[in-house]
Amino acid sequence: ADDVIVPFQVDDYTRWRLMEGLDDIGLTLQHEAEITEFEATRESWRPLTLPAKHLPPVEIKAARPVLRHADDALA
């Protein structure tokens, strides 16, 4: 069967998140230092959040070539 390439539009913010590999948790972790500082200065009677656990980085490879632009499909 022939491969089917279907171009589609994505807003700039969603495209940026996809290109950076960021989900909601990834976006939040970009502010980890500020969150840690905030938690350290909170009143002691308030509940604390648990520290984030970090796993070692894992390289992720695309299963097939990644098209960066719809025009790439025409090449």
Does the residue 5 lie in any domain?
yes
For residue 28, the SS3 value is: helix
pLDDT digits (tens, 9 = 90+) for 52-66: 778 888 888 888 877
Structural domains in the chain (count)? 1
pLDDT digits (tens, 9 = 90+) for 16-71: 999 999 999 999 999 999 989 988 888 888 777 777 778 888 888 888 877 776 66
Residues in the chain: 75
Does the residue 2 lie in any domain?
yes
Kindly list the distances between the CA atom of residue 68 and the CA atoms of 6, 15, 71, in Å, as whole numbers in the listed order. 13, 10, 8
Q: What is the distance in angstroms between the CA of the first residue and the CA of the last residue of the chain?
A: 20
Does the residue 28 lie in any domain?
yes
Domain holding 14, by residue range, is: 1-49
For residue 31, the SS3 value is: coil
Q: pTM to 2 decimals? A: 0.46
Does the residue 37 lie in any domain?
yes
Does the residue 71 lie in any domain?
no
Does the residue 17 lie in any domain?
yes
